[in-house]
Amino acid sequence: MNQLYADMLEQIEQEISEINLPAGPSNLYDPVTYIMGLGGKRVRPILTLLGCRLFSGTHHQAISQALAIEVFHNFTLVHDDVMDSADMRRGLPTVHKKWSHNIALLSGDAMLVLAYQLLLDKNHADLHKISTVFSKVAMDVCEGQQLDMDYAEKEDVSMADYLEMIRKKTAVLLSGSLQIGAIVGGGRNLEPLATFAESVGLAFQVKDDLLDAFGSDEFGKAKGGDIIEGKRTWLTIKSYELANDATKKELDNAYGLQDENERVQSVLAIYQGLGIESLAEAEVVKYSRAASRSLSEIDGDSRTKETMTWLVDQLVGRTT
Amino acid sequence: MNQLYADMLEQIEQEISEINLPAGPSNLYDPVTYIMGLGGKRVRPILTLLGCRLFSGTHHQAISQALAIEVFHNFTLVHDDVMDSADMRRGLPTVHKKWSHNIALLSGDAMLVLAYQLLLDKNHADLHKISTVFSKVAMDVCEGQQLDMDYAEKEDVSMADYLEMIRKKTAVLLSGSLQIGAIVGGGRNLEPLATFAESVGLAFQVKDDLLDAFGSDEFGKAKGGDIIEGKRTWLTIKSYELANDATKKELDNAYGLQDENERVQSVLAIYQGLGIESLAEAEVVKYSRAASRSLSEIDGDSRTKETMTWLVDQLVGRTT
């Protein structure tokens, strides 16, 4: 692992374990400790630290904002799990399964407030700018989740609609994480940072869809899980976009197969016939290159930029 | 109606109808427009305007913060209605009944973000102070709601616990509303304002409990509704506190009566025997006087103070 990333990860974990929550009511705050302790790559708060370090050479003044971002991210997980009726998260019961729907709802609300408390923790000349970026991102994330729910009921979703949904649901938070760190660090030109992070987010999402269908098991997911669940992904949308009427019918039939293994194999065969895998790979490369281009435009600390390049490689694979 | 209050109410209604929401997704933003349009006394945003006017002689610079408070209050209504499975609010279906649980959850989240957007709308020297007061209040309101849910499952709730719960669930938001307006208006000594508004909140809650049991129908509530629902109120807690073992048994029996009318009459008879009505009235007077005392300590615009006195009379009745 990259040393700077490793150091930052260790510090984030330490800070998370030390978040100062009120003593009670325990039904409000225990779920916060629980979900925050489930681990993960902590990509978003580390982006905040990296954003700060890019312009100031150090990341310590952005710790509280980094925590705010991670608390916000976990708030979305708690509420999304309620909306998706998801029982498990990172191998453990979700908050609403372990406690109740009402507790997940309310402790999620408290986490959103806690995120703002951490974000606006200290007085700062750029407090208004920080809160404006954060709230815009938070609203986009709500819109992305609503679009996701709307599209689940909709027959026909275009690639443009799908990309806008994942941009709001996933990419803008990466972008906001980096931008807020940069503001704290005194950065002024946020545009290339935003483009960098949004591109990484889109590349990551398409890569994730791709790995689910064609990847090996090392990523901890059952191959073809999205196909089994009938989930709409970049691959499904692209395949219906390219298919002629006969192939569309074949796709419908394949998705309708009772046997899960047969279903996965049949859908994958059609994807192969349409060349979906290489199209998706090209899409990942396109976004990754856009990310690299934006990164090269950023005038900041070189060790931080190296770590950002390393992080992109981890998330979406080497593209150069 | 007090002229200043009437003017402020008109302006608040106007501003609410003009809140600038994004065009879509409609499932996210239509519920916001719906719940905000259901009306009400708008006490909280008007307290914000009054808080500002106290110290600056005008209230226009606090409009955005007043809207933030009202949006926050309505966010709590949307989520509380989900948690309480309430079907109706102000004579119309609640958001989760009209749309769905998921939409109520997510549009509530968006309202909390919107509240922060409005609160921190413009750069302001006291932005940090404003956000600190607001977030503390928001966290207290979450704690109050959690305590309310916890106590619903609990046999024995003391008067001290009950008062702390309603303080957090109701009174602190009134206090925060006034304080935030005062900060925007340049006020420095917030302590008497906080005491004033919290006292009004507690007086109002006890008065509300009292009217439900002993009041007439002009307040739009069925007499004895709390008794029928078996809701814990100031009156139930006081009655169990004062009752001897025999009377406690009578109370248990009375609450257990099948016939609703009999239940109400039996419980009220026991309340009368214990002198609960006059004790509750004395409690309202105690808090109202504390409010008046705090108000007299505030050195601010006299017409604003007159309107605050008028508002207290409206909420909890004349005490002088």
**From the CB of residue A235, how many other CB atoms can be counted at a distance below 10 Å?**
25
How does pLDDT run across B175-201, given as a tens digit for each residue? 999 999 999 999 999 999 999 999 999
* Mean pLDDT of the residues in chain A: 95
How many Å apart are CA A182 and CA B256, to the nearest integer? 63
Q: Based on the number of CB atoms within 10 Å of its own CB, is B319 exposed (0-12), middle (13-18) or buried (19 or more)?
A: middle
Across A27-38, average pLDDT: 98
Query: Are B106 and A150 an interchain contact pair (Cβ–Cβ within 8 Å)?
Result: no
Does the complex come out with an ipTM higher than 0.85?
yes
pTM: 0.96
Per-residue pLDDT band for B217 (boundaries 50, 70, 90) equals low
Residues A185, A55 contacting (CB under 8 angstroms): yes
Query: Are B25 and A146 an interchain contact pair (Cβ–Cβ within 8 Å)?
Result: yes
How many Å apart are CA B272 and CA B262, to the nearest integer? 15
A106: closest chain B residue by CA: B142
How many Å apart are CA B234 and CA B277, to the nearest integer? 11
The pLDDT of residue A319: 55
Token pair in block for residue A248: 């569309």
Per-residue pLDDT band for B158 (boundaries 50, 70, 90) equals very high
Percent of chain A with pLDDT over 70: 97
Query: Are B25 and A110 an interchain contact pair (Cβ–Cβ within 8 Å)?
Result: no
Distance from CA of A242 to the nearest CA of B (A): 28
From chain B, pick out residues whose CB is under 8 angstroms from the CB of A110: 139, 142-143
Query: Are A106 and B142 an interchain contact pair (Cβ–Cβ within 8 Å)?
Result: yes
User: Which residue of A120, A129, A130 to mutate against B (max B Cβ within 10 Å)?
Assistant: A120
Cβ neighbours for A224, distance < 8 A, ≥ 6 positions apart = A212, A213, A260, A263, A264, A267, A268
> For residue A55, which of A196, A202, A188, A185 has the smallest C-alpha distance?
A185
DSSP character at residue A185: T
Q: Are strands A92-93 and A88-89 parallel, antiparallel or unpaired?
A: antiparallel
Token pair in block for residue B110: 């968006």
**Of the partner residues B128, B139, B147, the one whose CB lies closest to the CB of residue A110:** B139
**Of the partner residues B102, B131, B147, the one whose CB lies closest to the CB of residue A116:** B131
How does pLDDT run across B50-84, given as a tens digit for each residue? 999 999 999 999 999 999 999 999 999 999 999 99
**Of the partner residues A113, A116, A120, the one whose CB lies closest to the CB of residue B142:** A113
Q: What DSSP letter does each residue of B272-308 carry, written as one string?
A: HHHTHHHHHHHHHHHHHHHHHHHHHH--S-HHHHHHH
Amino acid identity, residue B277? E
How does pLDDT run across A225-257, given as a tens digit for each residue? 999 989 999 999 999 999 999 999 999 999 999
Per-residue pLDDT band for A7 (boundaries 50, 70, 90) equals very high
Cβ neighbours for B238, distance < 8 A, ≥ 6 positions apart = B159, B274, B276, B279, B280
CB burial of B140-175 (b: ≥16 within 10 Å; e: otherwise) equals bbbbbbbbbbbbeeeeebeeeebbebbbbbbbbbbb
Cβ neighbours for B274, distance < 8 A, ≥ 6 positions apart = B238, B239, B242, B243, B247
